[in-house]
């Protein structure tokens, strides 16, 4: 059976969403981020990213990780590409060309979007107000204008990223773009991106994942 390590309030959300999209059974092992704990060494502390037991699974000390009947993988977007290809169906690449495109978009999301989107999330909503820096948020918004234009153009033909249908490429990219949602003007300037993300978030599997995520302790 597939085992997914990581809490919902982490990048493991990407893998948990996909597993439900694919309809595959899985075991969920909650592993929290060490930085969220006041004293990681205290008695009764939950399994966390620096716990010796988890470091045996992922020596990098990050979540998520999966163990798929002995196939151990780290890195959330790579995990999703693997799971989609293994289980097939419309979310998976139908051709070698689509496979390459899906890998390209996963790398694009990480290199072009994620770091800036995280700064938007941190400095507009996630950090305590006293720790937010509006200048950092503004710079991140400006940095994302060009990538959002690229994505908006890619969505022009069919409303999806690859193959004219919802695939793992959409799921992976949507989970990165989601971090930038507090910057509403960024989405208003890229209407196809705005509509596409809303459609991704309307999927039952996303709603299920997000409801569980929001029920977890912050």
pLDDT score of 217: 87
Upper half-sphere CA count for residue 131 (Cβ side, 13 Å): 8
SS3 state of residue 12: helix
Query: For the domain 2-88, what is the CATH superfamily, name and number?
Result: Glutaredoxin (3.40.30.10)
Domains 2-88 and 96-206 share a fold: no
Residue 29 exposed, middle or buried by CB count within 10 Å (0-12, 13-18, 19+): buried
Cα separation of 80 and 187, whole Å?
Answer: 25
- Ordered by start, the domain boundaries in the chain are 2-88, 96-206
Which of 3.40.50.1380, 3.90.1150.10, 1.10.3720.10, 1.20.1050.10 is the CATH number of 96-206? 1.20.1050.10
**What's the predicted TM-score (pTM) here?**
0.96
Of the candidates 49, 52, 44, 53, the residue with the CA atom closest to the CA atom of residue 12 = 49
Q: What contacts 42, CB < 8 A, 6 or more positions away? A: none
**pLDDT, tens digit, 9 for 90 and up, residues 56-107:** 999 999 999 999 999 999 999 999 999 999 999 999 999 999 999 999 999 9
């Amino acid at each position: 059976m597939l085992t997914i390590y990581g809490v919902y309030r982490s990048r493991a959300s990407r893998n948990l969403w996909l597993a439900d999209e694919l309809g595959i059974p899985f075991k969920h092992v909650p592993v929290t981020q060490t930085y969220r704990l006041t004293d990681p060494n205290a008695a009764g502390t939950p399994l966390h990213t620096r716990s010796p037991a988890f470091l045996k699974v992922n020596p990098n000390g990050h979540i998520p990780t999966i163990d798929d009947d002995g196939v151990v993988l780290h890195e959330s977007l790579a995990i999703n590409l693997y799971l989609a290809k293994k289980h097939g169906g419309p979310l998976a690449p139908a051709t070698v060309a689509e496979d390459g495109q899906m890998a390209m978009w996963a790398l694009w999301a990480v290199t072009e979007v994620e770091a800036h989107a995280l700064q938007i999330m941190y400095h507009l909503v996630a950090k305590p107000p006293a720790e937010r820096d509006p200048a950092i948020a503004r710079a991140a918004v400006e940095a994302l204008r060009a990538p959002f234009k690229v994505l908006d153009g890619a969505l022009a033909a069919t409303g999806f990223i690859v193959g004219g249908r919802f695939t793992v490429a959409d799921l992976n990219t949507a989970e990165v773009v989601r971090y930038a949602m507090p910057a509403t003007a960024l989405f208003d300037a890229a209407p196809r991106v705005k509509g596409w993300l809303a459609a991704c978030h309307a999927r039952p599997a996303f709603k299920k994942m997000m409801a569980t995520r929001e029920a977890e302790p912050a």
